[in-house]
A and B are shown apart, each in its own frame.
Chain A
Amino acid sequence: MPIVELQHVRKAYDTKIAVADLSFQIEPGSMFGLLGPNGSGKTSTIRMMIGMTVPDAGTVKLFDQPFQRDLLTRVGYLPEERGLYKKMKVIDQLVFLGQLHGLDAATASKRAYAWCERMEITEAIEKKTEELSKGMQQKIQFIAALLHEPDLIIMDEPFSGLDPVNATLLQDTLVDLRNQGRSILFSTHRMDQVEKLCDAIALINRGNLVLSGGVREIKSRYPRNRVDIIFDGDAGFLDHPTIESAKNYSGHAEIKLNDGASAQHLLAAAIENGTHINHFEVMEPTLEEIFIEAVGGKADA
């Protein structure tokens, strides 16, 4: 039973088609990455999932039921364009938002304190939002989306604007939540995070699905034709006929081989050439490469 199921969903605003024809599903207990260049329809897709807009055609199912607002009490949402009430104290704000999700004030307050401790912002609890740094505000918004212990967590660009320490804290929290059996969907531009975190992805471009499936499975569709070499000395071996293209960052070469070519020949040629090899790795293409290839290299994301 998929947690989220989109079937031939379409949404147009005026003359602009935001989502053309999109189908995918999210399995329970998985971390799902929604990828795509800017303006590809990620946010429009997410908005249809939480009922902020209704699709022009197609159906959205949550928890195996056709969309209805009551189901939203089981969904936690962090929008990309997020804000807080500036004049409100953090704790009041969290309790208020929790109450809107159906919690009573006491439960909301108890959970808010626990989460603030976990997100290492206890000192901010009694402060007004306008006194906090942007990163702290983002953590509070993150907590606000989770207070009612949702089964499905939807986050639009959750990592944007976070420093590495806080991004890691957030990543770890998301992994914990997934391990507790929650389903998580997030959109991002950061392919390294997707590779690390996601079980499955959907890649969309211009409102259409380009790729979808498990991360492992998608990568295995591509040949292991990437070679990463760190070397000292002569770079002459980079002209070897097995190489389709190579980028040399002064001693660190990223190489794409011709179809069917063997990396062994390249290694042999390099050693023969007298180059000292410190590191030699044959890899699948990274998601980033797959991404760029799939959207035609024209993405500005």
Chain B
Amino acid sequence: MRNIWLIARREYLERIHAKSFLIMTILIPILMGGLLYGAAIVNSRIGSNHIAVVTDNPKFAEDLKTELSPKTRQAIVDVYSPTEPGVRDLLDQRMQKRSIGLGGYLWVTPPAAGESRGTYEWDPKAKADIVTKSRVADAVRGVLARETLAQKGMSAAEVNDLLKPVELKPPPKDRKNSDAAFASAYGLFFLMYFVILFYGMNVARSIIEEKTSRVFEVMLSKVRPAEMMAGKVIGVGSVGLTQVAIWIVVALAAFKIQGLGSELDALPTPGQLACFVIFFILGYILYSSIAAALGAMTNSEQELQQMNMFLMLPLIACSVVIFRVVTDPDGPISVFMSFVPFCTPLIMYTRIIVHQPPVWQIALSIVLLIATIYVILWIASRIYRVGVLMYGKKPNLPEILRWLKYT
């Protein structure tokens, strides 16, 4: 145990004192924040809010404009009369001019005798702009509904009431709403995903580094390979956890300062939070162990890059089924996946958040997870030790399997 602690401490201190740690700690939140903020800005301006409508009914055009304008953003609707000569050419020309920013035009043909509805022809500037198209279609439907209801004698207030969107509220006994549950489940998912992406491979890299510098033969005369592996996983892993902890504390402090404390009520219960910590740490150790095994098998960074997918594949599998799990937490797929150790941390935690599974299932999944970590570390340490004897040449799978039998 003492040796594991010594090795872990060495790895931890060396990395914490490196300049790159400080830089990453500051830079990543800035980059991520910038990315999220940028994405929000870009997406909020999707679709055009300037269209033209060709109709001889000015009331329709006015209603359409109201319908198209949400509270925050005023739409521009140019009105043209279909009887105007050359109106189509004029609109086509206007659409080509960037400075005008016309997103398309709607050509309204009044209903022929005996038909209830006219025809609406939409000519967009960008053929693939489905956002504007569906917005206009919704608006036209809204205008028609209002018109019809008004004709039937309903007052404007009554019509507004009727067309208001419906909000589905959680039952009062459930303090957490489902949005918060989703948020924390996805939060864990992305946190783990990124931490593994940034740090998982560090364990592998540190093992390869030791092979390149040939320190490991010196080390192996003093410690067991398993102690070496465990020390590395704990030491390098703690660096990642330290960084995540720093980010979380800073983020919480920022929330408090901004007076968003009430948002924190949406966080999971203490029990769920404990599960979060347990599954996060175990999941992290599991993936670090896999990385350790990959590092033990390879001799250079380049070879390691090719192995990268073994680390990402289980994560991708999780992201494929996670929607299923969220909607059907007790279904056979969800239960099965939550017992596959590589998916347990993400899937089981999501199940706990969405709908509390039986305690024995949680306990069993944790036991399986720990057993898997143990087996992988054992394999990794065997490969690592035999790697001392044979280096320079990339081992193939049968060789690796034979190595496991060496004593």
The residues of A that contact B220 with a CB separation of less than 8 Å are: 52
- A100-B224 contact in complex given A81-B214, A87-B14, C-beta closer than 8 Å: no
Contact with A along B374-407 (1 / 0, CB 8 A): 0000000000010011100000000000100011
**Is B258 in the interface zone, CB < 8 Å from A?**
no
The residues of A that contact B305 with a CB separation of less than 8 Å are: none
By secondary structure, the B interface counts as helix
**Is B217 in the interface zone, CB < 8 Å from A?**
yes
The residues of A that contact B406 with a CB separation of less than 8 Å are: 53
Residue of A nearest to B15 (CB): A87
Pairwise interchain contact B14-A88, C-beta atoms closer than 8 A: yes
* Chain A stretch 59-117: residues in CB contact (< 8 A) with chain B: 69, 72, 75, 77, 79, 81-88, 96-97, 99-101
**Is A215 in the interface zone, CB < 8 Å from B?**
no
Query: With the chains together, A77 CA to B222 CA distance in Å?
Result: 9
* Chain B stretch 254-294: residues in CB contact (< 8 A) with chain A: none
Pairwise interchain contact A100-B14, C-beta atoms closer than 8 A: no
Query: With the chains together, A72 CA to B221 CA distance in Å?
Result: 8
**Is B10 in the interface zone, CB < 8 Å from A?**
yes
Tell me the minimal C-beta distance from B34 to chain A in angstroms: 31
Pairwise interchain contact B217-A81, C-beta atoms closer than 8 A: yes
Pairwise interchain contact A82-B10, C-beta atoms closer than 8 A: no
Query: With the chains together, A14 CA to B218 CA distance in Å?
Result: 24
**Is A54 in the interface zone, CB < 8 Å from B?**
yes
Query: With the chains together, A141 CA to B222 CA distance in Å?
Result: 13
- A83-B214 contact in complex given A52-B385, A53-B389, C-beta closer than 8 Å: yes
- A13-B222 contact in complex given A54-B407, A83-B215, A96-B6, C-beta closer than 8 Å: no
Residue of B nearest to A75 (CB): B221
The residues of A that contact B210 with a CB separation of less than 8 Å are: 83
**Is B3 in the interface zone, CB < 8 Å from A?**
yes
Question: Chain B contact residues (Cβ within 8 angstroms of A): what range?
Answer: 20 to 34
Pairwise interchain contact B10-A96, C-beta atoms closer than 8 A: yes
Pairwise interchain contact A82-B214, C-beta atoms closer than 8 A: yes
Residue of B nearest to A86 (CB): B213
The residues of B that contact A200 with a CB separation of less than 8 Å are: none
Pairwise interchain contact B213-A85, C-beta atoms closer than 8 A: yes
The residues of A that contact B10 with a CB separation of less than 8 Å are: 85, 88, 96
Contact of B221 among A50, A54, A88 (CB under 8 A): A50
The residues of B that contact A35 with a CB separation of less than 8 Å are: none
**Is A144 in the interface zone, CB < 8 Å from B?**
yes
Residue of B nearest to A56 (CB): B407
Query: With the chains together, A72 CA to B222 CA distance in Å?
Result: 7
- A100-B222 contact in complex given A13-B390, A88-B14, C-beta closer than 8 Å: yes
Pairwise interchain contact A13-B389, C-beta atoms closer than 8 A: yes
Tell me the minimal C-beta distance from A73 to chain B in angstroms: 9
Residue of A nearest to B390 (CB): A13
Query: With the chains together, A79 CA to B391 CA distance in Å?
Result: 15
Tell me the minimal C-beta distance from A107 to chain B in angstroms: 15
The residues of B that contact A75 with a CB separation of less than 8 Å are: 221
* Chain A stretch 19-55: residues in CB contact (< 8 A) with chain B: 47, 50, 52-54
**Is B30 in the interface zone, CB < 8 Å from A?**
no
**Is B162 in the interface zone, CB < 8 Å from A?**
no
Query: With the chains together, A14 CA to B400 CA distance in Å?
Result: 12
The residues of A that contact B216 with a CB separation of less than 8 Å are: 83
Pairwise interchain contact A99-B6, C-beta atoms closer than 8 A: yes
Query: With the chains together, A72 CA to B389 CA distance in Å?
Result: 20
Residue of A nearest to B214 (CB): A83
Pairwise interchain contact B407-A85, C-beta atoms closer than 8 A: no
Pairwise interchain contact B218-A144, C-beta atoms closer than 8 A: yes
* Chain B stretch 200-217: residues in CB contact (< 8 A) with chain A: 210, 213-217
Query: With the chains together, A210 CA to B7 CA distance in Å?
Result: 42
Tell me the minimal C-beta distance from B15 to chain A in angstroms: 10
Query: With the chains together, A97 CA to B223 CA distance in Å?
Result: 10
Q: Which of A50, A82, A85 has the most CB of B within 10 A?
A: A85
Pairwise interchain contact A83-B14, C-beta atoms closer than 8 A: no
The residues of B that contact A53 with a CB separation of less than 8 Å are: 389, 406-407
Residue of A nearest to B10 (CB): A96
Query: With the chains together, A77 CA to B216 CA distance in Å?
Result: 13
Query: With the chains together, A11 CA to B224 CA distance in Å?
Result: 20
Contact of A101 among B7, B215, B222, B388 (CB under 8 A): B222
Tell me the minimal C-beta distance from B301 to chain A in angstroms: 16
Query: With the chains together, A251 CA to B118 CA distance in Å?
Result: 121
Tell me the minimal C-beta distance from A87 to chain B in angstroms: 6
Pairwise interchain contact B402-A97, C-beta atoms closer than 8 A: no
The residues of B that contact A84 with a CB separation of less than 8 Å are: 213, 215, 218
The residues of A that contact B221 with a CB separation of less than 8 Å are: 50, 52, 72, 75, 77, 79
Tell me the minimal C-beta distance from A294 to chain B in angstroms: 27
Q: Which of B215, B389, B402 has the most CB of A within 10 A?
A: B215
Tell me the minimal C-beta distance from B342 to chain A in angstroms: 32
The residues of B that contact A144 with a CB separation of less than 8 Å are: 218
Contact with A along B337-349 (1 / 0, CB 8 A): 0000000000000
Tell me the minimal C-beta distance from B300 to chain A in angstroms: 16
Query: With the chains together, A88 CA to B210 CA distance in Å?
Result: 13
The residues of A that contact B388 with a CB separation of less than 8 Å are: 52
The residues of A that contact B385 with a CB separation of less than 8 Å are: 52
Residues of B participating in the A interface, judged by any CB pair closer than 8 Å: 3, 6-7, 10, 14, 18, 210, 213-224, 385, 388-390, 402, 406-407
Q: List 22 A-B contacts (CB under 8 A).
A: A13-B389, A14-B402, A52-B217, A52-B385, A53-B406, A69-B224, A72-B222, A79-B218, A81-B217, A82-B214, A82-B215, A83-B213, A84-B218, A85-B213, A86-B213, A87-B18, A96-B10, A97-B218, A100-B219, A100-B223, A141-B218, A144-B218
List 5 tightest A-B contacts by C-beta distance, closest first.
A83-B214, A83-B213, A77-B221, A79-B217, A83-B215
